[in-house]
Amino acid sequence: MTLWTWVLIACAAVYLTKIAGYLVPGSWLEHPLVGRISGLMTVALLASLVAMNTASGDDGVVLDARLGALAAAAVALLLRAPFLVVVLAGAGAAAGLRAFGLG
């Protein structure tokens, strides 16, 4: 399948996840386990995406300037910086480290 097909299927799939919530009877999602696993899954998926985007490389795991971006973002978050500042800190750290020939 072409990339366009995957893009459009992904758009439809995400819309279905959204409209589904408005269509199911509320009582269906009152079971505590459903809400719990949904919350846990969000944490696990985001943590996995952080790890994957930090360390992905052609041959499995690569550690480079993105590790500096992760550290800079963590510091910004500890200092309660706004989301945009956190993103800029990550970009700045990665760009800065590369400018100095690291990673």
Using the structure block, give the residue that is written with the tokens 């500042």: 85
Q: x/- site string to other proteins, residues 19 to 58, per CB under 8 A? A: xxxx-x-x--x--xx-xxxxxxxxxxxxxxxxxxxxxx-x
Q: How near is the Cβ of 103 to other proteins at its closest, in Å?
A: 9
- Please give the residues from 1 up to 20 whose contact with other proteins meets the rule CB under 8 A: 1, 3-11, 13-15, 17-20
Tell me the one-letter amino acid at 20.
A
Measured between its terminal Cα atoms, the distance across the chain in Å is: 35
Per-residue interface string for the shown chain with other proteins, residues 73-102, x marking contact by CB under 8 A:
xx-xx----xxx-xxxxxxxxxxx-xx---
Least CB distance from residue 78 to other proteins, whole Å? 9
Half-sphere exposure of residue 17, counting CA atoms within 13 Å on the CB side?
6
Q: Please tell me the count of residues contacting other proteins according to CB under 8 A.
A: 76
